[in-house]
Amino acid sequence: MMRKLAKPAAVLAAFALVFSLSACGEKKVTTYEPGKYSGAPVAAPWDSPQFGGKQAQWEAAIQARTQGQNDYSRIPAK
């Protein structure tokens, strides 16, 4: 009795395995494409009354300001 049932059970299990793993070989089709910005344009920071479009001048001002946060350049470490 058990032997008679073993063969159909094995066939059934093989079919189940094939069906359950059939999607594993599929390639991922979702691709992310960044959207196009829909808002208003952003002015460059140097396009301001203070810098009048002079990028180098703005960058120098920001670099100096940023470096001002360094304690060790203001007060050298012993």
Partner 1 sequence: MARMKFICDANRCIECNGCVTACKNANEVPWGVNRRRVVTLNDGAPGERSISVACMHCSDAPCMAVCPVDCFVRSEDGVVLHDKDQCIGCGYCLYACPFGAPQFPQAGAFGVRGKMDKCTFCQGGPGKASAEEQFSKYGQNRIAEGKLPLCAEMCSTKALLAGDGDVIANIFRERVTIRGKGAEVIGWATAYGTPKAGAAPAATEGKK
The length of the chain, given as a count of residues: 78
Nearest distance in Å: CB 28, partner 1: 17
Token pair, residue 49, equals 């009354």
Nearer to partner 1, 16 or 52 (CB): 52
Exposure string of 50-65, with b = 16+ CB inside 10 Å and e = fewer, is ebeeeeeebeeeeeee
Binding mask 19-58 for partner 1 (x = CB under 8 A): -------------x-xxxxxxxxxxxxxxx-xx------x
Contacting positions for partner 1 (CB under 8 A): 32, 34-48, 50-51, 58-59, 61-63, 65-67, 69-72, 77
